[in-house]
């Protein structure tokens, strides 16, 4: 996630992370030139970084096409120290019980910057609509996000979502209604739609 206010600069690290994020966003492997063009950089700027990422096992160059794609190295690292595993383990049985009782899907989400990240979902045994794990939504667009925001002060909410395009697009009247809704959620302790 890119921050609007950065305290420190590490250009080489930024370049490497930009490459990883760009490759992750693409469905097909990319050539060195395609990566460079996608990032608005020269092919020469990208070459050394791609070679380093390949040596460290984060990307692989396909022998047939010469194009680069991500390996499972990030997946492996993400599962070595996964702070969500205990949370998911503790939530699994209560969520399964709730899903069956309500006959609706339920999900466990956490704040992820100004977004909401779905960590786990549980569905009842019958057919229903559900939100996939790993999905990210803007906090102000979801009911779960609104419940999270209702626990914060108005100043904290503005600081968190102030540069969110959805919030920025709201006129003063819509912003007042938004905060009025958050206050109603705060007072009632729930959001029923």
> Does 161 map to a domain?
yes
**pLDDT tens-place values along the chain, 193 residues long:** 444 556 788 889 999 999 999 999 998 999 999 999 999 999 999 999 999 999 999 999 999 999 999 999 988 887 776 777 788 888 999 999 998 998 888 889 888 888 888 888 888 877 667 677 788 888 888 888 999 999 999 899 988 888 888 898 999 999 999 999 999 999 998 887 7
Residue 49 near residue 15, CB atoms below 8 Å: yes
**Model pTM?**
0.56
Coil, strand or helix: which one is 113?
coil
Structural domain range at position 46: 11-77
Let me know the angle formed at the C-alpha of 183 by 166 and 150, rounded to the nearest 5 degrees.
60
Q: Which CATH number is 53's domain given?
A: 1.10.10.10
Residue 137 near residue 162, CB atoms below 8 Å: no
Name the burial class of residue 122, with classes exposed (0-12), middle (13-18) and buried (19+) by CB atoms within 10 angstroms of its CB.
Answer: buried
Please indicate, yes or no, whether residues 45 and 137 belong to a single structural domain of this protein. Answer: no
The Cα-based distances of 65 to 50, 69, 97, 117 in angstroms read 15, 11, 49, 35
Q: Which CATH number is 88's domain given?
A: 3.30.450.40
Number of folded domains that form the chain: 2
CB contact burial 42-63 (16+ within 10 A = b; e otherwise) = eeeebeebbeebeeeebbbeee
- Rounded to whole angstroms, how far apart are CA atoms 138 and 141? 5
Please indicate, yes or no, whether residues 101 and 173 belong to a single structural domain of this protein. Answer: yes
Please indicate, yes or no, whether residues 183 and 114 belong to a single structural domain of this protein. Answer: yes
Please indicate, yes or no, whether residues 98 and 182 belong to a single structural domain of this protein. Answer: yes
């Amino acid at each position: 996630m890119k921050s609007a206010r950065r305290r420190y600069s590490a250009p080489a690290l930024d370049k490497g992370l930009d490459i990883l994020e760009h490759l992750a966003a693409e469905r097909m492997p990319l050539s060195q030139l395609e990566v460079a063009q996608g990032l608005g950089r020269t092919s020469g700027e990208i070459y050394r970084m791609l070679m380093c990422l390949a040596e460290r096992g984060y990307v692989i160059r396909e022998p047939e096409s010469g194009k680069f794609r991500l390996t499972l190295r990030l997946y492996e690292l993400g599962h070595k120290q996964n702070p969500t595993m205990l949370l998911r383990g503790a939530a699994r049985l209560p969520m399964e019980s709730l899903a069956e009782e309500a006959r609706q899907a339920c999900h466990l989400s956490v704040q992820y910057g100004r977004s909401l990240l779905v960590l786990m979902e549980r569905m009842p045994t019958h057919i229903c609509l559900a939100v996939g794990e790993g999905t990210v939504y803007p906090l102000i667009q979801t009911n779960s996000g609104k419940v999270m925001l209702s626990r914060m002060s108005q100043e904290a909410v503005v600081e968190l979502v102030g540069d969110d395009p959805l919030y920025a697009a709201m006129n003063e009247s819509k912003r007042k209604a938004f905060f009025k809704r958050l206050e109603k959620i705060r007072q009632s302790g729930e959001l029923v739609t």
